[in-house]
Amino acid sequence: MSKPLVALLSGAGISTDSGIPDYRGPEGLWRRDPEAEKLVTYASYMGDPEIRRRSWQLRLRLGALSAEPNAAHRAVAELERSGTPVRVITQNVDGLHQLAGMPARKVFELHGTARRVVCTACHEGGPMQDVLARVEAGEEDPPCARCGGILKPATVMFGERLDPVVLGRAAAVAKACQVLLAVGSSLQVHPAAGLVGVAADHGARLVVVNAEPTPYDEIADEVVREPIGTSLPRLLRELAHTGTV
pTM beyond 0.85, yes or no:
yes
Distance CA 154, CA 139 (A): 19
Query: Domain boundaries in the chain?
Result: 1-19+68-111+161-245, 21-66+114-155
Peptide bond into 26 cis (omega under 30): no
Q: What does the pLDDT profile of the chain (245 residues) look like in tens digits?
A: 578 899 999 999 999 999 887 655 545 555 556 677 888 899 999 999 999 999 999 888 877 688 899 999 999 999 999 999 999 999 999 999 999 999 999 999 999 999 999 999 999 999 999 999 999 999 999 999 999 999 999 999 999 999 999 999 999 999 999 999 999 999 998 899 999 999 999 999 999 999 999 999 999 999 999 999 999 999 999 998 876 66
Look up residue 146 and give its DSSP letter: T
Range 1-19+68-111+161-245 has CATH code 3.40.50.1220: yes
Which residues does the annotation mark as catalytic? 111
Name the CATH superfamily, with its identifier, for domain 21-66+114-155. Answer: SIR2/SIRT2 'Small Domain' (3.30.1600.10)
Which residues 6+ apart lie within 8 Å of 191 measured at CB?
Answer: 162, 167
